[in-house]
Amino acid sequence: MSIEKTRPPHGGHGDQGITVLLRRMHDAVALEASAQQRLDHLTKAIASHVVADVCSIYLRRPDDDLELYSTEGLNREAVHKTRLKWGEGLTGLVAESHRPLVTDDAPHHPAFAYRPETGEEALHSFLGVPLIRSGKTLGVLVVQNKAARKYSDDEVEAAQAVATLLAEISASGELLSREETAVVGEMLHRPERLKGIAIVSGIASGRAVYLRPPAPKHNVFSSDVAGEAARLEEGLNNLRASVDAMIAENASLSGVSREVLETYRLFAYDRSWKDRLRAAVFSGLTAESAVEQVQNENRARMMQARDPYLRERLHDLDDLAHRLLRFLSGEKNGGQRALYQETILVAQQMGPAELLEYDRDVLKGLVLGEVSATSHVAIVARALKIPMVTGLGEAINRCEEGDEVIVDGDAGEIHVRPTSDVIETYRSKRELQSERQAAFASEKDLPSVTKDGVNVTIMMNAGLAFDMPHLKETGAQGVGLFRTELQFLVGSQLPSVSSQEMLYREVLDLADGLPVIFRTADIGGDKTASYMDHGKELNPAMGWRGLRMAVDRPGLIRPQLRALLAAAANRTLYIMFPMVTLAEEIDDARALLDREIERAERQNKALPNDIKIGAMIETPAAAWRVGQIAEKVDFLSVGGNDLAQFYFAADRDCERVQRRFDPMNPGFLSFLRDCAVKAAKTEAPLSYCGEQASDPVMAAALLGLGITNFSMPATAVGPFRRMTRSLNAGHISQWFDEILPQPRESIREEFTAFLRVNSVVVE
Ligand code: PEP
Ligand code: MG
């Protein structure tokens, strides 16, 4: 078989092949004939274009069987007779796995299923690609050859491009009969329950807004080539004008940010991109289908690029293509999406700053492709109490723009287009939840003391003034971690000293005398501010961030310290430094603070009554030498999110590796215990402010390790207090003496059983 190669993303050699095939497909679909005849012509067009002995199209039926709908090369009597179960035979395997399958020895493949009526025994080579639309397999395109040969990656890619188009046509009503199209529509729109991973608890419902263009509801082919070409031209003009306007609005940007925008503009004006879009339109595609076709080719090419910079550029190209599609659909503004009154945002990825840009009154829930519980977007979502589910992978595409969606952030699943039964179930679940919240609220003034008399301090984490009312609602004893960087991430420029001071003063006022520990801006890692030039870092989490950046760039931290000193005038100020690695770094940070104190004194400004300095213990180096760090500060706080990331060498933003390492690993717990023991020998109290404290089983373990001060998301405070009051920390500590030295990946199961036997309330 030889399928013409797709072109490189921009430029590259002329490519008549795919254009010719598209035109043939167009002609087949436009035929005045029965649906079956049109489909047969299409199969023929593909088969004659590729040097294949057999080309077949299988379509999915409502019972999920795959039925042979058309073939060129197999016995024609088999059409509408041969059926394969989902997962049966090579074709069924392609459907089930949603992936292409290639083999040069089909008869000996373990999944091979022989169907005598097709006469396919003499065929050795097999290439099957799924017809995917909105994340669902609608059928399979199969190409076979007698000779044993290996299909190349390019051939597989090209077959995928044809399959994408076939899936589009199947759903568009341009190919199948009206009844068949209705069956496909039914398949695409049936209710679904998708299992993922719970990241932020709570239940939300609303309509899906996809942070990618919706699956297009437009025709694939058009007979009015001139009209489509004119629409394309107009769309491109609008797109370019919008990119120019965006660059003009951000004229003050410099460095990398500027470069990124300029590259973006270059792509928008790229001549060969336009030429390829026009060629696709002239082959008979609608302008929208042309954009998708060209973008599919780009994606296939760029996904293979080794150069991470090039791969990154794929986002630019995707974004441009999406904007162009929106302009083509008549939207005036190709940028920001309009939201529903109750919106569920669905996206493959999202950063914390991006999330903060959305209107919180209408944003009810989040469904993200792959993020971990300790990623910053998750932390922000938790702070905003926006239920969130992740880990859906490709299944994320199964919900379409405007679909009704329920996000269950407790069970870690979403319901797309739920039935009335499911809606009703969730309505009562929500009621139960509010009862549970009410029960926790009624316990908020109960002392947090363990059964064996250990006093536990429970504070909460915050990052926005918006969080502060949770103090009273939960009965938290203060803010143990105020992530000041959130203010830095929202705007398009560094916040002014006065706006920082205003926020800190407001927060202190709202805390009403309870302590607030302000962590200086921990920018870097996944928390990049658009106006900061971070340079190119391969490992940003271990790069220039936190205290490292602060001491190198006093221009960032000194105004912040100035704002903190002013806001806390005549009160106690707690300042905490993030990402401390060596004790000596504290000296540098203190020196900057001293300079700000002197400055305030010179200007006769009122100062705080007392200033307490803290260090975050979030690198193994700091945990190992916690005693030395303690000598230089007033208090310590373990940032378990980062500490676990560095202990396991597992990116906290990568769900795949996060799932591999449970913080309830006895090695990590021993490491934490060692750190707590070392800290206990110093004057500086140690607390724990990582997200792990919101996992009740892990939180119970932390109490057993001897940690007694905590700061956690507001939602975790109630369950944590209840758990604390039901356990005996001494018993856990003894049990740990025995169990922690033993080799285990995780002690979660045995520890959960231990807690259950001892009637500890973990829910
Ligand atoms: C941590 O690392 O545990 C922490 C609390 O800081 P952040 O999550 O903001 O990095
Ligand atoms: Mg951290």
Element holding 709 (H helix, E strand) = strand 709-712
Stronger pLDDT, 727 or 422, i.e. the higher one: 727
Ligand 1 pocket test: which of 488, 618, 648 has the largest number of ligand atoms within 8 Å of its C-beta?
618
Q: What atom of ligand 1 comes closest to residue 485's alpha carbon?
A: 9
| 64 CA → ligand 1 middle, Å | 46
What's the average model confidence in pLDDT over 679-688?
A: 98
C-beta 483 within 6 A of ligand 1: yes
Token code pair at residue 195: 């299992």
Residue 7 has pLDDT above 50, yes or no: no
In this predicted structure, the answer to whether residue 755 has a pLDDT above a threshold of 90 is yes
Is the domain defined by 192-212+335-434 classed in CATH 3.50.30.10? yes
Helices vs. strands in the chain: H and E counts, helices first: 28, 22
pLDDT of residue 303: 64
Q: Give 362's DSSP letter.
A: T
How far, in Å, from the CA of 223 to the mean position of ligand 2? 58
CB-based contacts of 350, cutoff 8 Å, min separation 6: 211, 366, 368, 371, 377
Examine the pLDDT at 335 and tell me if it is beyond 70: no
Q: Give residues with Cβ within 8 angstroms of 528, minimum separation 6.
A: 351, 353, 489, 534, 540
Q: Is the pLDDT of residue 233 over 50?
A: yes
Tokens of 266: 């270059």
Contact 463, 740 (CB under 8 A): no
Ligand number nearest to the C-alpha of 526:
1
Spatial separation of the C-alpha atoms in residues 678 and 10, rounded to whole Å? 59
Kindly tell me if the per-residue pLDDT of 8 is higher than 80: no
- Region 609-630: mean pLDDT is 98
Q: Label residue 417 left, alpha or beta by phi (over 0 means left) and psi (-120 to 50 means alpha).
A: left
Residue owning tokens 């005693």: 627
- CATH code: domain 9-188 is 3.30.450.40
- Of 29-33, 276-280, 305-309, give the lowest mean pLDDT range: 305-309
Contacts of residue 356, Cβ cutoff 8 Å, sequence gap at least 6: 380, 486, 489, 490
- Active site amino acids: 376, 689
pLDDT band at 91 (very low <50, low <70, confident <90, very high): very high
Mean pLDDT lowest among 303-307, 346-350, 473-477, 643-647: 303-307
Instruction: Evaluate: CB of 645 within 6 angstroms of ligand 1.
Output: no
Cβ of 236 less than 6 Å from ligand 1: no
pLDDT band at 255 (very low <50, low <70, confident <90, very high): very low
Provide mean pLDDT across the span 51-69. 90
Amino acid found at 314:
L
The CB of 481 under 6 Å from ligand 1? The reply is: yes
Does residue 6 carry a pLDDT above 60?
no
| Residue of 376, 580, 641 best suited for mutating to test ligand 1, as the one with most atoms within 8 Å of CB | 641
- In three-state secondary structure terms, 576 is strand
Domain boundaries, the chain: 9-188, 192-212+335-434, 225-328, 443-533+541-757
How far apart CA 525 and CA 539 sit, in angstroms, is 8
The answer to whether the 192-212+335-434 and 443-533+541-757 domains have the same CATH topology is no
Please tell me the distance between residue 750's alpha carbon and the centre of ligand 1 in angstroms.
28
Q: Does this model's pTM top 0.85?
A: no
Residues near ligand 2 ion, CB 5 Å cutoff: 618, 639, 642
Tell which atom from ligand 1 comes closest to the C-alpha of 618.
2
Contact between 142 and 127 (Cβ < 8 Å): yes
Q: Which two tokens stand for residue 532?
A: 């900061």
Average pLDDT (137-161) is 86
User: 225-328, which class in CATH?
Assistant: mainly alpha
Q: Does domain 443-533+541-757 have CATH number 2.90.10.10?
A: no
Q: In this structure, what token pair is assigned to residue 762?
A: 């973990």
Ligand 1, atom 10, lies closest to the CA of 642
The number of the ligand nearest the C-alpha atom of 485 reads: 1
SS (H, E, C) 443-498: CCCCCCECCCCCECEEEEEECCHHHCHHHHHHCCCCEEEEECHHHHHHCCCCCCHH
Ligand positioned closest to the Cα atom of 480 = 1
Q: Residue 579 C-alpha to ligand 2 middle, in angstroms? A: 7
- With a 6 Å cutoff on the Cβ, whether 690 touches ligand 1 is yes
Residue 620: pLDDT over 90: yes
Instruction: Decide whether any atom of ligand 1 lies within 6 Å of the 196 Cβ.
Output: no
625-641: per-residue pLDDT in tens?
Answer: 999 999 999 999 999 99
Q: How confident is the model at residue 643 (pLDDT cuts 50, 70, 90)?
A: very high
619: CA distance to ligand 2 center in Å? 9
Nearest residue CA, atom 9 of ligand 1? 483
